[in-house]
Structure 1
Amino acid sequence: MTSTTAPAPTGDLPTTARLLERIREDWAQLRPDLDPQPMLMVLLLDRLHSALSRRIEQTYFESDINASNWDLLLTLLRSAPPEGLTPSELSQLSAISGASITNRVARLLDKKLVERVVSAQDRRSAQIRLTPTGRALTEKLLTPHVENETQVLSVLTQEEQRTLERLALKLVSHLECQTAQE
C-alpha cells in the first residue's frame, strides 16, 4: 500500500512539522501496526541538531573556523592554565574525541591560533595553548556567539530551558551508559 498524498514540490520544502506529519501518515497507511514515534523523535532531534549547528556556525564561519575548531578554542580559553593543556586533557575537556584531537590541533596550528609547547622535562610531551592571535579571535567571537545562542533559546521560557536540559541530560546519560557497556 502506498501513500495517495502527492509529494511536496521540490521548490516547496516541507517544514519539519509537516514532514513529520507526512511520515506519520505514510507509516499509518503502509504499516498501521507500527508505531513510528521513535523514528519521528530521532528524526526531529537530528533536524534540530542540524538547524542548531547551521545557526551557531554563523558566529565563527567567516573566520574560517568549524565547530570542532571553535570547541577547542573555547576549551583552551576557559580551561587551560597559562602553560596550556596536553592533547589528552584537551580531549577530556572538549566535545572532540581523542582520535580527532591531533587533526584539529594541526589545523589550528596551521592557522597560528594555537601553539604546541614541548615539555622541558619530557620531550615526548607537549601542551597546547592559545597564541595571542588565537586568544584575540576567540575573545572577539565569544560575545556574539553567546548572544546568538541566547537568541536561539529565547523562544523557550527559563522553565522550558531547564526541562529541555533535564530531558536531554537524561537521554544522553542513558546513551553514554549503553555505549560504555558495549
Structure 2
Amino acid sequence: MEEPDKDHVDKILAQWRRERPELDVAAMGLLGRLGRLRAHIAREQETVFAKYELTSASFDVLATLRRSGSPFQLSPGELLAATMVTSGTMTNRIDQLEKAGLVKRLDNPEDRRGVIIALTPEGRQRIDAAVTAHVANQQRLVAGLESEERNALNALLRKFLATFE
C-alpha cells in the first residue's frame, strides 16, 4: 500500500535512486508530475468538451474567437498566434468547425486575398455553454487545494512558464 501523499512519480524516483544513486532526479519528479497532471486534466476536460460535441482543439479555436470580443472575428494569422499551432493544423480546425456550422469564412475587407474567421450564432451559443461548463470543471479539478495553495502554485507555475515564454 502506498504511503499517504506518495504518488506514482515517487515510485519511479525511488527506482532511479536505487539503480542510479549518482543522478539527481529531483527535476524528473517535478516534470513527471506536471506531465501526469496534464494528462489527467486533459482527459477531464475532453469529457466536458465532448458533451458539447467539441474537442480541446475545436474548443480552443471557438474560445479564442469568443474572447476576442464583438464581432467575434479574427484572421487565420491571429488565430495561429493565439493557439500556437501550424497553419495546416489551423486550416483543418477551421474546415471542421465550418462544416459543423460553428464558424464561417468572410472576405477580409482589409485584404482582398484574405479571409476572416467569424463565430456563427450557433458557434457563439455552443462556446458560451461549453466555457461555462469548462470553468465549473476547472474549479472542481482544483478543489482539492486550499485557496492559498492554489495561489502559491499559480505563482510558481507562472514563474516557471516565464522561463520558456
Which of the five TM-score ranges fits, normalised by the shorter chain? 0.7 to 0.9
Aligned position for 1:167: 156
Contact between 1:57 and 1:67, CA under 8 Å: does it hold in 2? Answer: yes
Mapping of 1:25-174 within 5 angstroms?
25-82=14-71, 84-92=73-81, 94-99=82-87, 100-120=89-109, 122-174=111-163
Unaligned runs of 5+ in 1: 1-15, 177-182
What is the root-mean-square deviation in Å for CA atoms of aligned residues?
A: 2.1
TM-score by length of 2: 0.87
One-letter code of the match for 1:111? A
The alpha carbon displacement at 1:175 in A equals 1.9
| Cα distance between partner residues in 1 of 2:86 and 2:70 | 20
TM-score by length of 1: 0.79
The alpha carbon displacement at 1:120 in A equals 4.2
Contact between 2:74 and 2:117, CA under 8 Å: does it hold in 1? Answer: yes
One-letter code of the match for 2:161? V
**Runs in 1 of length 4+ with deviation above 3 angstroms?**
none
Helix, strand or coil for the counterpart of 1:149? helix
The alpha carbon displacement at 1:41 in A equals 1.4
One-letter code of the match for 1:40? G
Contact between 1:91 and 1:98, CA under 8 Å: does it hold in 2? Answer: yes
The alpha carbon displacement at 1:19 in A equals 2.2
| Cα distance between partner residues in 1 of 2:46 and 2:6 | 23
Aligned residue pairs, count? 161
The alpha carbon displacement at 1:122 in A equals 3.0
Counting aligned pairs with the same residue, the percent is 31
Contact between 1:113 and 1:130, CA under 8 Å: does it hold in 2? Answer: yes
Contact between 1:80 and 1:129, CA under 8 Å: does it hold in 2? Answer: no
| Cα distance between partner residues in 2 of 1:121 and 1:170 | 39
| Cα distance between partner residues in 1 of 2:45 and 2:23 | 36
Q: 1:20 to 1:37 in 2, by over 3 A?
A: same
Higher relative contact order (CA 8 A, sep 6+): 2
One-letter code of the match for 1:152? L
